[in-house]
Structures are given as structure tokens and as C-alpha cells.
Amino acid sequence: MADGTGARLAPYHKAETAAAMNVAADGAAPAGGSDYARIGRVLDLLAETFPDQPSLAELSAHLGLSEFHFQRLFLRWVGVSPKKFLQHLTLAEAKRRLRASHSVLDAAYSAGLSGPGRLHDLFVAVEAVTPGEFKAHGAGLTIRYGFHDSPFGDCLLMATPRGICGLGFVADGDRPAALAKLSRGWERAEFRADAAATEEFVPRIFAPPDQADARGAAPIRLLLRGSRFQLKVWQALLEIPQGGLATYQDIARRLGLPPGAARAVGNANGANPVSWLIPCHRVIRKSGALGGYGWGLGRKMAMIGWEAEATGRAAQET
């Protein structure tokens, strides 16, 4: 199927097909980060073509899988069919969720509460570095880091004795590039590869909304390095409800800034060092378009769709 620029679905290669066909005898794929790795190419494609609503046949052909195997793989990863996942990502649905999020956010803000983010209030405790520590670029600080499977592919987690200071994702298998990106600002710190020290956080960080109890009672502490403006934007991001969306203009308004400050908000949003925990993926353009994402637009789309479905299941169960 062609997108708006005339591009078409890229043909798959036999080597890619062999890797994608690494499934169990019943056609099901193992759960976990490997699922994301297999369908990551499809998600990148969908980020460009989802307004055209590509068919199951076209998506499965892109991976060289039968429709049956592709559907099983997709269901195993996200818990919903590709068709329903696409419905979560249409412009009409994005605009509907923006309107719904506005009403929830406005009610909370007018009452002086962080109601929409109350789960995050319990789940995340934020500490900012002091001005002196900001200038020191991590001198005297030990940062342990590890790479782990996540629902959105290979992730990098960086932690200090005072809290997590970095969470990002690996693109194209390039772990050194991910580490270099998250290490900016901490150049004088001592870095130690220690996946055992960071692994304990992973199940709690990526527990879906309908399994919130799995996160435990103790909050996960974050140690953030940023300007005062960036810290204010990141705090505002924590108040966007799970499964909800906001625009850059919404965040500017929340901070008492004029609409023209949306660009500055966008820059601060993009500088977020702790992706997912501080949900910069929930900010989109006022048109309903997804906008950009430093870890890949396909990954942002996956996060939005994953949260929408998990939040919907939680609401139905309640």
C-alpha cells in the first residue's frame, strides 16, 4: 500500500524472514523484548503509513510471515489485534483522547491537585541535582548501567545510589550509541556496566496499568539533571494520565506560558533523560499527528497503542 508520498511497503529479505519465523511449533512467539524486535520494522512502517490503514496481509508480508503467524505474534506482544491497534492510532482517535484528557487535566489543575498523575506520584519520586552538581557533570558519582529486554525492545537503564538517572532504548542494535546519548551531562561520572544492579527495576517500570500492584509500594526514585525550565516540563509530563495524550500547547498552558512557548516545551520534552517513566511519548501535536520521538517514531506509536489498550482493559475490569 502506498503512503502519502508514493512510497510502498518495502520487500522483505529471506534472511529477515528466517529470523522472523523463529516461532514455536504452534506458531506462537516467545513473549518479551524479542517480540518487539521482530515487529519493530512493522511499527516503523506503521508510523509512516497508519493513516492509510494497511491491511493484515500487507503487514504480514512485510515480515515474510503468514497472516496467521503475524497475528499470533502481534497478539502475544500487545494483547490486541493489529486492526484494533491501528484504530488506537488514527487521527480521529487521537483527537478524541486529547479532548478527554483535557477535561481530566483541567479538573485536576483547577482543584490544585495532580489527580491524573496520582499513580505516578506514588510510583515515582523525583530529585533534582543541585546547581553545584549540575556544573560538576557527575564528578564523584558512580553510575551503574545495564541493557534489558522491555516491551519496546532493548532498553538501557542507568542508576545512581540516589535514583535512576537514565532510561532509553537501543536503535538498530547500537548499544554504544544509546549509552553515549544518555551519558551526556554526566561526563565526569564513573560508569560501571552492572546489569544485575539495574535488572530489579525493569518488571516494575514496565508493568502495564492493569497490573499496577506488580510495581510494589516503594516509589522508584529518579535523579534528574536539567535546567529549571526542563524540570518544570518533566513534572508536567508526569501529570498526563496513563492512556491519555496532551499537546505541547497543553503543557505550555499548564506552566502558565503563552502558546508560542510550545516550541520550547517541545525541546524540553525531547531532552527527557528518563523515557517512559517520565512519559514524553504522551505528547503529540495539536493536529493529532504523533510528532517526533528521540528513540524512534515507531516506538512512540507502540507505547501509545500499548498504553491505550492496557488502560482500556483496566477500565473494563474496574
Would you please indicate which residues are annotated as catalytic (active-site) residues? 280
Is residue 234 within 8 Å of residue 125, measured between CB atoms?
no
Kindly give the interhelix angle for 228-237 and 262-270, rounded to the nearest 10 degrees.
80
Identity (one letter) of the amino acid at 196?
A: A
CA 239 – CA 115 distance, rounded (Å): 8
Identity (one letter) of the amino acid at 25?
A: A
Is residue 278 within 8 Å of residue 260, measured between CB atoms?
no
Is residue 229 within 8 Å of residue 265, measured between CB atoms?
no
CA 297 – CA 22 distance, rounded (Å): 26
Is residue 167 within 8 Å of residue 276, measured between CB atoms?
yes
Backbone angles phi, psi at 10, to 5 degrees: -70, 140
Q: Which residue, chain included where needed, has cell 497508519?
A: 50
Q: How far is CA 235 from CA 3, 78, 161, 213, 280, in A?
A: 37, 28, 21, 23, 11
Other residues' Cβ atoms within 10 Å of the Cβ of residue 179: 18
Other residues' Cβ atoms within 10 Å of the Cβ of residue 90: 14
CA 57 – CA 161 distance, rounded (Å): 49
